[in-house]
């Protein structure tokens, strides 16, 4: 995978492999929600893409999971948790590659 970009509502989400750091990096750009820049993810055939950490301003804990669902679909989950129990934002969606049939 060189790079995958998803555009949904006010968000542009990009997953890419960076040869210089030898890691997968996730970027989320949102005009009304939370954003990430080059958030590192690990990859395994069994677990897909995964990562945990904090936003660059250290205000939000982040948990990311991108797993294969069935033969060609992928389930994406990007979760942000703030200091209070009610401060949670989630971006959830399932994607099929272009040109696939249902």
Tell me whether residue 86 is in a domain: yes
Q: pTM, whole model, 2 decimals?
A: 0.82
Which domain does 41 fall in, by range? 3-95
84 within domain boundaries: yes
Q: Give per-residue pLDDT as tens, 20-60.
A: 989 999 999 998 888 999 999 999 988 899 999 998 888 89
Is 98 a residue whose pLDDT tops 70?
A: no
Q: Give the DSSP per-residue string, 7-31.
A: EETTEEEEEEEETTTTEEEEEEEES
In a domain, 101, yes or no: no
The domain tally of the chain equals: 1
């Amino acid at each position: 995978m060189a790079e995958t970009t998803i555009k949904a509502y006010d968000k542009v989400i990009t997953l890419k492999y960076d040869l210089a750091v030898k890691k997968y990096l996730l970027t989320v750009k949102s005009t009304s929600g939370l954003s990430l820049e080059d958030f590192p993810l690990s990859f395994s055939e069994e677990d897909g893409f995964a990562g945990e950490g904090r936003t660059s301003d250290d205000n939000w804990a982040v948990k990311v999971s991108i797993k294969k669902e069935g033969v060609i679909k992928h389930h994406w989950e990007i979760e942000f948790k703030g200091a209070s129990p009610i401060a949670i934002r989630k971006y959830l969606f399932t994607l099929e590659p272009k040109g696939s049939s249902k």
